[in-house]
Structures are given as structure tokens and as C-alpha cells.
Amino acid sequence: MKELVFPGDKVADTPQRIPGCYVEDGQTFASNVALRSDDHIVQLKGYYVPKTGDDIIGIVEEERFSGYNLALNSPYGSSLSARDTRDELKLGDAVYCKILAVNEVKEAVLIEPQKLPTGSMLAIDSVKVPRVIGRNGSMLDTLSKFTGSHITIGKNGIVHVEGGNTSLALKAVEKICRESHTSGLTERITQMLENESRANGGQGEQNG
Amino acid sequence: MAAKGQREDGRGPLDYRAISVNKGFAPNAEGSCLASIGKSKVLAGIKFDVMAPFADRPTEGVVMVNAEFSPMAHPEFRAGPPDAQSIELARVVDRGLRSAKIVDTENMLLMEGKVQGIFIDLYVLDHDGNLIDTAALAAMGALQDSKVPKFEDGKIVRGSNSGNLKLNDAVVCTSFEKIGKNIMVDATDAEEIASSGRLSLSTANGDLICSSQKSGAAGFSKDEYMQMIDWSFEKRKELLSKLG
Amino acid sequence: MAGKVNKMVEKADLFKNGKRIDGRTPMDLRPLKITAGVLDRAQGSCLVEWGRNKVIAAVYGPHEVLPKHLADPTKAIINARYVMAPFSGQEEHGRSGPNRRSIEISKVAKHVFENAVLVEQFPKTMIDVHMEVLQSDGGTRVAGITAGAVALADAGIPLRDMPVGLSAGKIGETLVLDLDKYEDNLGDSDMPFVILPRTGEILLSQMDGMLSREDISQAFDMIFEGAKKVRDKQIEALKTSYERMAAQVTTQGETNQ
């Protein structure tokens, strides 16, 4: 049974850490519009706040003497030290990184950078990332299979697509985000990918 | 400290600091009053003039309140156009006077299209908290000090005096600050910084509220609100006695 | 709703035989319609049509604070802006942009949102809440804040609860809810309030007129009762916006075939 909860609605009589909820006087209340099912609560919209250990995609937005500042699709920025970077990075480059630490004003320190090849990118709401990946990566597998694209997703909601039918891949990701809170999504996405890739003369078409 | 209900200067939560009211401080003005509460000082000056009435009240006189936060009053005050804080202060004082109909604006028509205007300027000279109560006191004192000039043929005769300005009753304002769960009156600058919210209540006619202004992020419960109303009636007597 | 009310209204007309000038009882609100997600670009938005008022709110952020020195390392700061369009009143063309009244209202609205938004989740950022009165007919500040609350929820900004704005007032000896322009101008008191329904906290209180302790106590009880109706409309707006998104699925599915 699914129902919507709204800011101020009580969701538990005990204090619990649930995304989109907060604790006051030992009880848990919704802080966001969210879809509540028997065992969990999924908020419909949110903002990415850097967390230690997250794998993210950052976009180089500033080059400094000692390293780079990367935009994270977040109110907060991040920095990557030049010492940790083998590749020379340019403004606009997409880099897959891990968050080593987050300082007191929520700026992230990044490590283990992997420069991503030139491709197409899309910034989505980070609360939708689990839907795009799917259970055990199933949605992502479906997307790759039909588009022939190599798709990388950061926890912060930046989606990087390279090779294959990139425009179809991005279109499918947008559709997943738009319809993430509805049932039968996997079937509809599969259907759409089947129809469109057939219309475009099969998978693997190069137009990126 | 204040969060535990104790105050740095040893006052109880409902104690005002020393209050003084000095009417006639700037005698070139038709009315003036320097009011101080603790170290906070506000000078109110009043000038009369002839002006066009407001379109929706063509026969009524006009009372205007303006506040200047002088840069001499606090290291963080800057000269320049009025900011939200000074506009709020002026409008809170204005609403109190207006609601209680302290000035009889219906007797200020000079001729068609011309009415008496009363300009009340509030100069904040020294800021150690509770500027709203201090400014309201200064404004009331200045009104009580005002001599109405003569008006002839729709013109003001500067320096003339046709008698004291007639006033209905007196308005005073008491501001409450919430620090932690405690509520106190007459906060100092330091207490205001610690405060999460304020309620200013203006009183008139003994036991009527004529304006309220909630400011700051904190919320108040209905019980707290009603309690503050009772306290404001109590404090009204003290403030009126200082106005003389 | 009725068109322009041009007839001259006298104070004596405001309350007769238990009914107000537009036929309402003291507790009745004007027709209220709230729509969430009315703007494309803003992160969250809301249109409130309340009687003849039309107020639109839009939310941007959290984003970097500009100017930078205003940033607070412990919480997000709220930039609330209430303005009236120059054509919004029945009178002459107003002046564009903020005036003393709107600057004061923006300030108290900011305090409301500072309380309701879980600002400590977004230190060093700024959240903008823009409220524009497109047509005014009394009670625009409470309509604006009610709209701002829905726009914040629509934007996905975490809130303790959605603030609800509603005004009470006094006509002669009668206390009423939700004053229109005539009741505001000719009545004896106007008391705009904003409350948080869950905790009953009072986040905004302004008033003019002369009121006794009992008047104010009764006004609060009326406000808490009336606010439930406004809260229901806020929820309905967010629910409808969600259902609208869900409904788009089928139509898009069809066009994709």
C-alpha cells in the first residue's frame, strides 16, 4: 500500500533516521513530500549533500594552483588535489571520484579520480539515482543493452553517457526520473527502448 | 546564562532597566523627546506641515513615522537608505499610534486638498537593545510635548503656537524576547543576539492591545502569547508613569 | 468568482444579520484554490487564488550565498521577497518594486520560513522564496506565505511543517476570519497570523485595531480551526501535482508508440 506523506506528518512514534524525515521530541516526522510504502519512504525531490564514501561524478569548474574545484550538482562544492591526479584536467571535464572527507561546511575532498571520456551528460535529482540504477543494477543493464552506451552514474545525480545511442540513453534516463514514483516503470522503459531502437535501426547507432 | 533565566545585570525577567524621558530636548521641533531605556537612547522629533491628504482619506490629517538608525549608535549601523530593521521599527510604532487613534486626524483638515501633516522622526542614537520600546516611548513623549503651530489660509506659520496637541490616551510598547524557553522584557543588545524571537505588544486604554509584531524565527504558543499580553498590561503602568 | 466590486461599501454593510458583505458567516473562508508546480524554471512554485487574491510564489536554492559574507556556517539563510505588482490593486498604478510595507512583510515572512525550513541541513547556502502579488483583495501577506510554504515543499526543501497563513479581524463587535479588502479597510481590526499546524506555534503575528485579551484569545481559537482548511488545500495541491505527474505517464507512453 503506497501513500503520500507531507511535511509535518508523523511517520513513526520513535526516533528514526529516514531520508526526507526529521526527529523532534522522540518522534519522526516527514520533512518532504514522500511516497510511503510498507517498509520504506522515498522522497520525490531532494538535494545532494556530499557524504564521505560516496562515489560521485564532478565537473571541473575551476583550476587552482594546487588542484581543482569540481561542481557536484549540489549546493556544495568540492576540491581535488593535483597530487592525487595523474591526468591533466581541463575545465568542463567529468571526473569519477570518491569522497574522502566532508568538512564542516559540507565541502567534499575528493580522491581516486578517473577522468571520463568525452560524452554526454545529464544532471538528475540525486534521490532518483537508485531508480536509474535499478535493483542490483538491472535498470542500468537494460539501458546499456538497448543503447550500446557506456553509462556511469554518480551518487550526486550526474549521469555520464558515452558511445552507442547516447540520445536514446539520455531520453530513457529522463523518463525514469519523471516516472520514478510510478509502478510498472521497468516494463515501460523496456518497451520504449525496444520501440525506439527498432525505429532507429537497431542498437549501437553512433550519434554521440 | 540568559537561557537559564538569569540575566547578566541581575534583573528579573520582567524588570526594565532604568527608564528616562526628557521632553523638549530639541526645542526647534514642534515636539521632541529623548527617551532612554538602560543605555539605549532614541530621540524623537516632530514637525508639522501642510500636505495633500491620502486619496482614500481626503479629509483626514496625515501622521508619518520614520526611523533613522544613526551610524553613531552601533558599530554595525551604516549610513544609507533605511533597511528592513528600521522600517519595521517605524511601522510598529506607527501602527500602535494609528490603531489607538492617539492623534485625532479627523480634525486636521485645513481646506479641500490640504491637511495638517505630523512628521515623527525617530533617531536611534545609542543601541543597547530594545529599540522598539525606547522609540515608542520617545514618540509618545514627543507627541505629548508638541505645540500645534497656527495655520493661516492653508499655510503653516512657523514658530507660532496655538496650544498643545490634543491626544487621546497614550500608547506604550513592551517587547518580549525568547531565549531558550525563557521569556523576558527589555533585552540588552547581547540578550537580543542570544534571542530566537521577539513579540512586541503595544497597549492603549488600560487593557487593550493596539498592535503586535512577532519578529525572529522562534514560534510562540498561544499560552505564551496570552501570558505576554497580561505582562504587557502590567508593564504599561510602569512605562506610563515615566511619561508623566 | 464575481467580477470587480465597484459599488461603494459603507461600514454598516459589513456585517448584517449574522452575515458578512459577501454572505459569509464569521468562520467562513473565501473560496481558496492552491496549485503547486505552476512555473517551469523555479525549483518549486505555487499559485494561491484566495477570494479575488492571486499570489504566486517561487523557490530557488539552496545555492551559494551572494554576497558571500552573508553566509552562515551553521545554517541556510532565507531570502524572502514579498512584492505587489503595480497593477495588482483596484487603485491607480502602484510603484514597482519594494516599498516600506513590502520590505517589512518580507522581513516577517523571512522569519516564518527560517523557523519552518530545516535550515541547519544546508549550512552556508541561501534559499530564495519569492512571493508576488498579482491581484490583491485583502490578506495578501498570509496568501503569499501560504503559497511560499507550498512552493518550498514542491521544491523538495525539508520543512518541519508547512506554515499556514490566515487573518482574523473584528467588525464592530464580531470576530471574523479571512478579511477581504473592504473588511480590512473599513473594519475595526486586522490580525494576520501564520501558524505551524502541527505544534500550534505562532510564527507571525501583526495587528492593528483595539483588541481585548478575550478578543485575541478567541481569534487564536478561530485561526487554529480555520487553518485546518488551508492546510488541507496545501496538501491537496501537492497531491494533485503528484497525480498530474503520474498521469503524464500514460499520455507520454502513447505519444512514444
Q: Where are the domains of chain B?
A: 2-243
Report chain C's terminal Cα–Cα distance, integer Å. Answer: 42
DSSP 8-state code for residue B79: S
Quick one: fold of A120-199? Answer: Ribosomal Protein S8; Chain: A, domain 1 (3.30.1370)
CATH superfamily of B2-243: GHMP Kinase, N-terminal domain (3.30.230.70)
Q: What are phi and psi of B197, to 5 degrees?
A: -175, 160
CA distance B210 to B195: 24
CATH for the stretch C14-256: 3.30.230.70
Contact C107 B84 (CB under 8 A): yes
Contact residues on chain C for B204, CB-CB shorter than 8 A: 210
Longest CA pairwise span in chain B (Å): 62
As a whole number of angstroms, the longest Cα–Cα distance in chain A is: 60
Tell me the mean pLDDT in the region B180-184. Answer: 96
- The residues near B239 (Cβ < 8 Å, ≥ 6 apart) are B16, B19, B133, B137, B172, B174
Average pLDDT of C200-228? 97
Confidence category of residue A185, pLDDT binned at 50, 70, 90: confident
Residue C196 touches partner A, C-beta closer than 8 Å:
yes
Amino acid identity of C99?
A: N
Set of chain C residues whose Cβ sits within 8 Å of the Cβ of B100:
210
pLDDT at C90 over 90: no
Q: Contact, C34 vs C80, CB < 8 A?
A: no
Q: Nearest CB to C200: which of B82, B212, B222?
A: B222
C257 touching chain A per CB within 8 A: yes
The answer, for B215 touching chain C at a CB cutoff of 8 Å, is yes
List the single residue in A44, A75, A192 with the smallest CB-CB distance to C122: A75
**With an 8 Å Cβ cutoff, are A7 and C159 in contact?**
yes
Count B/C contacts: CB-CB distance under 8 Å. 104
Give the predicted TM-score (pTM) of the model: 0.90
Q: What are phi and psi for residue B103, nearest 5 degrees?
A: -100, 135
Q: Determine, for residues A7 and C235 on separate chains, whether the beta-carbon distance falls below 8 Å.
A: no
Please indicate whether the domains covering A55-115 and A120-199 agree at the CATH topology level.
Answer: no
Q: For residue B106, with 0-12 CB atoms within 10 Å meaning exposed, 13-18 middle and 19 or more buried, which class applies?
A: exposed
CATH superfamily of A55-115: Nucleic acid-binding proteins (2.40.50.140)
Q: In chain A, what residues touch C196 (CB-CB under 8 Å)? A: 8
| C159·A105 Cβ contact <8 A | no
Using pLDDT thresholds of 50, 70 and 90, give the confidence band for residue A206.
very low
Strand A108-115 and strand A77-81: the pairing is parallel
Residue with more model confidence, C16 or B19 = B19
CA A168/CA A190 separation, integer angstroms: 12
Q: Is C209 on the interface with B (CB under 8 A)?
A: yes
**Is the CATH number of domain A3-43 3.10.310.30?**
no
Q: Contact A119/A130 with Cβ under 8 angstroms?
A: no
Domain locations along chain A = 3-43, 55-115, 120-199
Mean pLDDT, to the nearest integer, of B114-124?
97
Record the cell numbers describing residue C58, joined without a space. Answer: 517561487
Distance in Å, alpha carbon of C42 to nearest chain A alpha carbon: 13
Q: Could you report the predicted ipTM of this complex, rounded to two decimals?
A: 0.90
Confidence of residue A201 (pLDDT cuts 50, 70, 90): low
Q: Which residues, other chains included, contact C54 with Cβ-Cβ below 8 Å and sequence gap of 6+?
A: C47, C48, C133, C134, C135
Q: What mean pLDDT value characterizes chain B? A: 95
Q: What is the pLDDT confidence band of residue C7, given thresholds at 50, 70 and 90?
A: low
Compute the average pLDDT of residues C108-124: 97
C53: which DSSP letter? E
Contacts A24 to C, Cβ<8 Å: 160
Q: Answer whether C100 sits within 8 Å of B91, measured CB to CB.
A: yes
Using one digit for the tens of pLDDT, what is the confidence trace for A83-123? 888 888 999 999 999 999 999 889 999 999 999 999 999 99
**C249 pLDDT band (50/70/90 cuts)?**
low
Percent of chain B at pLDDT exceeding 70: 98
Contact predicate B129/B189, CB 8 Å:
yes
**Interface present between C and B (3 or more CB pairs within 8 Å):** yes
Whether residue C154 contacts residue C46, with contact meaning beta carbons closer than 8 Å, is answered with: yes
The predicted pLDDT at position C255 comes to: 39
As given in the structure block, the three cell numbers for residue B24 are 523638549
Ramachandran angles phi, psi of B231, nearest 5°: -65, -35
Q: Once rounded to an integer, what is the mean pLDDT over residues B158-168?
A: 95
Domain ranges of chain C: 14-256
> What are phi and psi for residue A80, nearest 5 degrees?
-130, 125
